[in-house]
Amino acid sequence: MTGAVIIDCDPGVDDAIALLLAFGAQMPVMGVTTVAGNVPLSLTYGNARKICELAGREVPVFAGCPRPLIRPLATAEEVHGATGLQGADLPEPRGKGRSQHSVDFLIQQLLSAPAPITVAALGPLTNLAVALIKCPQIAAHIAQLVIMGGAMGQGNITPSAEFNIYVDPHAAHVVLSAGIPTTLITLDVTHQVLTTPERLAAIRAIGNPVSTAAAGMLAFYGQSDLARYGLPGGPLHDPCVIAYLLKPQLFTTRSVPVTVELTGEQTVGRTVVDWYGSGSQAAINVAETVDADGVYALLLEALATFS
């Protein structure tokens, strides 16, 4: 288990499941920052607050950047799969929302914490990039950064690119070049962690309100990927980041240089992973394999902790 964690996200169903995994596993989440991505910022912020309410966790949630650094916001047509939190009857958040911007929360917490903080990045990297541009010294205060993003094989928003990196490739470039100890979990790995009918039934069988809501959301999630990639279940992307933080031995990684394609007409947002390590770019850890049963076991265990 890690020390204090900030989760930057754009819920989104799989972000929501990732938050529930973190909360159920008693991860020390000190804040949730939200960014525009799967849905506009007002919805990612509201959805994150609803998930905290559902889980009964009083974790501060912040709204962040409403659009990418340079590219326009992804259109609803571009956004793939299930994007809202349909399928779940989620409670309205009680209490007042926070007015501090995600970027300022990140900077303030990173600079003032007694020990470096872990950051889990589950959406486009705009908040982190802006924080690094505003205050580059925060890089030294991040214990580790684990990102769901990128594709070495097939993309999911274009043939080349994965959604989080494609939405804000310039932000991804800023973040991946910041010298932070980083682990990247790409589609190549998350497409192995699938919500098969058996796994969905196991979540349903837990039978508490949180697991029931999770099953409701997952029943709809990633259905377009089934036909598109011939998968037997929807991929569970973002929970892989939390699973990696909880139990890194479920994954194998390799340290290799990674760059983000910023200009290619067909390839913008592609993560170019240099398995030969020949370039001058600093290396980051890239996940190579995952124990999918192990990730699902963690999720089931975490969901069963709610009453």
Check binding of 169 to ligand BDR (CB under 6 A): no
For residue 209, the tally of other CB atoms under 10 A from its CB is 14
Instruction: Return the one option of Ca ion, ligand BDR, none that residue 168 interacts with (CB less than 5 to 8 A, by type).
Output: none
Out of 41, 52, 148, 172, point to the residue binding ligand BDR (CB under 6 A). 148
d(Cα 170, Cα 240) in Å, to the nearest integer?
Answer: 24
Site for ligand BDR in 16-75 (CB under 6 A): 38
Query: Cα angle at 169 between 168 and 170, to 5 degrees?
Result: 95
The first and second tokens of residue 160, run together, are 């080349």
Closest C-alpha among 225, 133, 250, 132 to residue 180: 132
Closest C-alpha among 153, 138, 12 to residue 85: 12
| Largest Cα span, the chain | 53
Output 156 or 160, the one with its CB closest to Ca ion: 156
Site for ligand BDR in 219-248 (CB under 6 A): 237-238
Output 69 or 107, the one with its CB closest to ligand BDR: 69
Out of 4, 8, 14, 69, point to the residue binding ligand BDR (CB under 6 A). 14
d(Cα 266, Cα 186) in Å, to the nearest integer?
Answer: 19
237 is catalytic: yes
Out of 118, 156, 158, 285, point to the residue binding ligand BDR (CB under 6 A). 156
Phi (first) and psi of residue 143, to 5 degrees: -65, -50
Residues ≥6 apart with Cβ < 8 Å to 38: 10, 11, 12, 15, 44, 79, 83, 123
For residue 94, the tally of other CB atoms under 10 A from its CB is 8
CA atoms within 13 A on the CB side of 282: 12
Site for Ca ion in 106-165 (CB under 5 A): 122-123
Smallest separation (angstroms) from ligand BDR to the CB of 135: 25
Which residue's Cβ has the minimum distance to ligand BDR? Answer: 163
Check binding of 15 to Ca ion (CB under 5 A): yes
Smallest separation (angstroms) from ligand BDR to the CB of 125: 11
Out of 45, 105, 163, 306, point to the residue binding ligand BDR (CB under 6 A). 163
User: Which one of the spans 8-16, 214-222, 226-234, 251-259 is the region binding ligand BDR (CB under 6 A)?
Assistant: 8-16
Site for ligand BDR in 123-142 (CB under 6 A): 123
| Integer-rounded Cα radius of gyration of the chain | 18
First to last CA, the chain: 23
Instruction: Return the one option of ligand BDR, Ca ion, none that residue 225 interacts with (CB less than 5 to 8 A, by type).
Output: none
**Contacting positions for Ca ion (CB under 5 A):** 10, 12, 15, 122-123, 238
Summarize as ranges the residues that interact with ligand BDR (CB under 6 A): 12, 14-15, 38, 122-123, 148, 156, 162-164, 237-238
Q: Looking at the annotation, which residues are catalytic?
A: 237
